[in-house]
Amino acid sequence: MALFTRENTISSNKVFEGKIVNLRVDQLQGPEGKTFSREVVEHNGGVVIACQPQPGTVILIRQYRYTIDMELLELPAGRLEAGEEPLLAAQRELLEETGYEAQSWKPLTSMYSAPGFCNELLHLFRAQNIVFQGKALDEDEETEVIIVPVQQAWQYVLNGQVRDAKTIAGIALLLGPNSLS
């Protein structure tokens, strides 16, 4: 038996309910009878888009992230609305943040962003065959679109210019397993 499975939950208390995340604190009982608490950030999940205007290139966006008080270079990404299909969210987010619409979409993987405390599941897509339609940013967003060779994007990872985990994973997937040196 695993030490802390759902069956070990004694109680669950939602302590915060927000627009983007909820926070709950669960009390668990271990096999020796000791109780432990787990803080869980609940999130609807999100999408990440590795958009390639041409083969061998990728779109990155530069945007300010309030939580860390700095600008980051990232792949376009965004959150899922409750019940929203990941592909539809990816199409919406790509258009909003970059102004591009893609004709070709391929799911690459799904990954948890921080499973030690958060249930956010990110769905990563490759988008190709793009046409510029114009940005449709949310009123609290501002992005700068940058198109770079994928190899240059990986150099940004290696030299610390890209420090966002979902972006690092997406660029690595574009490069494939034999080109991460």
Helix (H) or strand (E) holding 65: strand 57-65
Catalytic site residue from 139, 141, 142, 144: 139
CB 101 within 8 Å of CB 91:
yes
- Identify whether the C-beta of residue 82 lies closer than 8 Å to the C-beta of residue 41: no
Asked whether 127 and 86 are in contact (CB, 8 A), the reply is no
Active site (annotated) includes residue 139: yes
User: What contacts 11, CB < 8 A, 6 or more positions away?
Assistant: 26, 27
The catalytic residue positions are 139
